[in-house]
Amino acid sequence: MKTKTWLLTLLPAMAFAEDVAKIDTGNTSWMMISTALVLLMTPAGLALFYGGMTRSKNLLNTYAMVFSAFIVAFVAWIVAGYSVAFGNGGAMQSFMGGFDNMFLNGIAWTDLMPQSYPTYVFVVFQGTFAAITVAIASGSVIERMKFSTWLIFVALWTVVVYAPIAHMVWGGAGAYLFDAGALDFAGGTVVHMNGGLAGLVLAILIGKRKDFQKVAMKPMSIMLTALGASLLWFGWFGFNGGSAFGATEIAGLAYLTTALAPSVAAITWMVLEYIIYKKVTLLGAVSGVVAGLVAITPAAGFVDVSGAFAIGFIGSLIAFFGVVTLKKKLGYDDSLDAFGVHFLAGLWGALATAIFAVNDKALLWDGPLKATGDRMGQFMVQLESVVVVGLVTLIGTIVVYYIASVLTGGGRVDEETEALGLDEATHGEKSLNI
């Protein structure tokens, strides 16, 4: 009797061992590390990067907006976002997944991805992408958006805007832009164009800060911003490298381009500053790094060294123009240049992928370039993808903002709160209690 009981107890363990044997431990380790690196990018990297550029009376609120974006977006991702992005959409498969996998229903902890790492790891990895995308948008509206409106906006936008875009680009067979052959290695359209444009739309809907262009709005701490940029760069190796979905040669290529393009972009930004202002600033150098990272993201696993050089160089030129010239000319109040850096550099990177992608079938996804070597055809597909993503982001962000605004009695803080600063007025805290 004792022996039989022991054998019955052992059987589940033997079955578990058989399942574990199917796992590629190298790919699993790499994806878990990459996921942790991407997580670091939002509540640490982006929060510090943005926080340092705001004024001291709004530092904590800025950090809180980014920090809360991760928390709320990730919960929304588990509730419905993942299902809409990567579920089976049936008749709507071209544009969105279904709702069968809400709360991860139907996904077992033993399920594996094709690269033999746990599906749950893929869920978390993609959830960190969703979170940083909406967090990027916060940079356009800091110092004047209600925190309550922001929280509702994040939850709705993650499911209504981000998830369908992720599905169309990365959702597999049957998804509109995926079937068209759009190349987006790690999120030029899905993340950076999406988040940057959402930020601009919010900035226009909410309106300019009361003292915009009337008083000097100096950064609270460029050192915090530089530290944030360094953490972003560190995490970006998981962002781009992890998008190879395994410890592979393609991940190695993405690692190289993720180091090279932002370095070239930073040098470019510093040279531009010296030519125009006769000074080289630390803020300019780290802005160049971020612009280069954004630009190389959609192309990271598709281009060689020369492509990374070109994408980083031109991406920095475009972002510099967006931050220094375009914003002044058009007069919008994009507080921390989410649009100027993320949207414009992301747009360039998405289109540049078709121009500089190495025609190597082992690297490329399905598309005109891989199928027939048709580079112009690939460029037209990339152009189609940026137009579609832009339209969905524009319309979706407007709709979601108005819903969130109605639910919170308006999306903008009152004049007294804005003048006092959101740290004290909204959170009852100060960044420095001295």
Name the fold adopted by 26-427. Ammonium transporter fold (1.10.3430)
Give tens-digit pLDDT for 211-268: 898 888 889 999 999 999 999 999 999 999 999 999 999 999 999 999 999 999 999 9
Q: What is the pTM of this model?
A: 0.94
Query: What is the rounded distance in angstroms from the CA atom of residue 398 to the CA atom of residue 396?
Result: 5
Return per-residue pLDDT of the chain as tens, 434 residues.
Answer: 343 333 334 344 434 444 555 999 999 999 999 999 999 999 999 999 999 999 999 999 999 999 999 999 999 999 999 999 999 999 999 999 999 999 999 999 999 999 999 999 999 999 999 999 999 999 999 999 999 999 999 999 999 999 999 999 999 999 999 999 999 999 999 999 999 999 999 999 999 999 898 888 889 999 999 999 999 999 999 999 999 999 999 999 999 999 999 999 999 999 999 999 999 999 999 999 999 999 999 999 999 999 999 999 999 999 999 999 999 999 999 999 999 999 999 999 999 999 999 999 999 999 999 999 999 999 999 999 999 999 999 999 999 999 999 999 999 999 999 999 999 999 999 887 75
Domain ranges of the chain: 26-427
Residue pair 220/55 in contact (Cβ under 8 Å)? The answer is yes
CA 325 to the chain's CA centroid? 25
Helix (H), strand (E) at residue 79: none
What are the residues facing 145 on neighbouring strands? 412
Q: How far apart are alpha carbons 118 and 4 in whole angstroms?
A: 33
308-312 long-range contacts (CB < 8 A, ≥24 apart) are: 308/256, 308/257, 308/260, 308/261, 308/264, 309/260, 309/261, 309/264, 310/352, 310/356, 311/261, 311/348, 311/349, 311/352, 311/356, 312/260, 312/261, 312/262, 312/263, 312/264, 312/265, 312/268
Helix (H, G, I), strand (E, B) or coil at 196: helix
User: Half-sphere exposure of 64 toward its Cβ, with a 13 Å CA cutoff?
Assistant: 21
Residue 434: predicted pLDDT: 57
Tens of pLDDT, residues 262-311: 999 999 999 999 999 999 999 999 999 999 999 999 999 999 999 999 99
How far is C-alpha 205 from the geometric centre of its chain's CA atoms?
A: 22
